[in-house]
């Protein structure tokens, strides 16, 4: 029997933007590669500006790479757009649509009728901690609830692979921890495949099966660490020697990459 192909393979991906921040060209990615097996939770950490969101935009089909390729289920799709679930770095809830109409947006855009989309969303509101808030505006929600609403919208789109770009980045530490535990429960019951960007090494270790560390810009993958901690994972894991050792293995190269990138920026 042959093993199932990886859900996602990113091969030697490069991206050059012809007009960057200061008008000159910016090489955002240079030969980045990674893989995610079906059902895995994989994270990417890397210094700010190293090309993480650019990599997601390419995998989601929003922009084209300058070189390299993206395989889904072992094949290179002619069109990536619409093939993966994507929660961008900014939650992008629309302030003029109710919570319910925000979370159904992805379904409606993929052609599901409004009534059916609403029925699907209502089934999930409880699990996403939004029961009773469906008629409220996004501005009425707490930071954690907004993120759960944006996650629900991504989940409802029904794709097997989901790209989550720093979903908890703006939350306070306590809310963040609660959200991590909640996300693991959702992931474990739904068996989705998740590729997750974070700046937070503890978050990456706590959640993931594997963590990729990217170099400073132009971003490539400089290290891959398997997180062989048992599941299900609970908060107490943070204090275990294994957890602390894994965190340290990631922190050292990340720290060096961030410093090297800063030095390059200061010199240029």
**75-94 mask for Mg ion (x: CB under 5 A)?**
--------------x-----
Q: From the list 12, 16, 26, 53, which residue makes contact with Mg ion (rule: CB under 5 A)?
A: 53
Which distant-in-sequence residues (6+ apart) come within 8 Å of 78 by Cβ?
none
Q: From the list 5, 38, 49, 61, which residue makes contact with ligand ATP (rule: CB under 6 A)?
A: 49
DSSP 192-256: -EEEEE-S-HHHHHHH-SEEEEEPSSSB-EEEEEE----SS--GGGGGSHHHHHHHHHHHHHHHH
Alpha-carbon distances of 31 from 15, 65, 208, rounded to whole Å: 9, 10, 23
113 sits near ligand ATP (criterion: CB under 6 A): no
53 sits near ligand ATP (criterion: CB under 6 A): yes
Q: Which residue's CB is nearer to ligand ATP, number 21 or number 79?
A: 21
**Piece in contact with ligand ATP (CB under 6 A), picked from 2-10, 31-39, 47-55, 200-208:** 47-55
Distance CA 52, CA 93 (A): 22
106 sits near ligand ATP (criterion: CB under 6 A): no
**Piece in contact with ligand ATP (CB under 6 A), picked from 44-52, 140-148, 200-208, 257-265:** 44-52
**Residue 50 near which of Mg ion, ligand ATP, none (CB within 5-8 Å, type-dependent):** ligand ATP
169 sits near Mg ion (criterion: CB under 5 A): no
Q: From the list 8, 28, 100, 211, which residue makes contact with ligand ATP (rule: CB under 6 A)?
A: 28
Distance CA 97, CA 155 (A): 18
176 sits near ligand ATP (criterion: CB under 6 A): no
Element housing 71 (H / E): strand 67-72
222 sits near ligand ATP (criterion: CB under 6 A): no
Instruction: Pick the closest to residue 161 from 231, 86, 64 (CA basis).
Output: 86
Name the β-bridge partners of 41.
Answer: 194
**Residue 207 burial by Cβ neighbours in a 10 Å radius (0-12, 13-18, 19+):** buried
Q: Which residues bind ligand ATP (CB under 6 A)?
A: 17, 20-21, 26, 28, 46, 48-54, 89, 217
């Amino acid at each position: 029997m042959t093993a199932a192909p990886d859900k996602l393979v990113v091969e030697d991906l490069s991206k050059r933007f012809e007009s960057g921040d200061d008008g000159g060209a910016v090489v955002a990615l240079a030969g980045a590669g990674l893989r995610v097996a079906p059902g895995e939770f994989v994270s990417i950490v890397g210094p700010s500006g190293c090309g993480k969101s650019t990599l997601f935009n390419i995998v989601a089909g929003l922009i084209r790479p300058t070189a390299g390729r993206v395989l889904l289920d072992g094949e290179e799709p002619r069109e990536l757009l619409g093939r993966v679930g994507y929660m961008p770095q900014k939650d992008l809830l629309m302030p003029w649509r109710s919570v319910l109409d925000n979370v159904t947006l992805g379904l409606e855009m993929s052609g599901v009728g409004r009534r059916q989309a609403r029925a699907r969303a209502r089934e999930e509101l409880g699990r996403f901690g939004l029961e009773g808030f469906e008629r409220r505006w996004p501005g009425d929600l707490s930071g954690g609830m907004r993120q759960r609403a944006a996650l629900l919208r991504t989940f409802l789109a029904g794709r097997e692979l989901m790209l989550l770009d720093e979903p908890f980045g703006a939350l306070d530490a306590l809310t963040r921890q609660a959200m991590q535990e909640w996300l693991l429960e959702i992931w474990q019951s739904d068996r989705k495949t998740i590729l997750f960007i974070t700046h937070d090494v503890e978050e990456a270790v706590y959640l993931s099966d594997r963590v990729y560390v990217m170099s400073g810009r132009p971003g490539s993958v400089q290290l891959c660490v398997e997180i062989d901690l048992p599941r299900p994972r609970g908060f107490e894991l943070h204090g275990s020697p294994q957890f602390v050792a894994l965190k340290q293995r990631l922190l050292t190269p990340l720290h060096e990459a961030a410093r090297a990138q800063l030095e390059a920026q200061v010199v240029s």
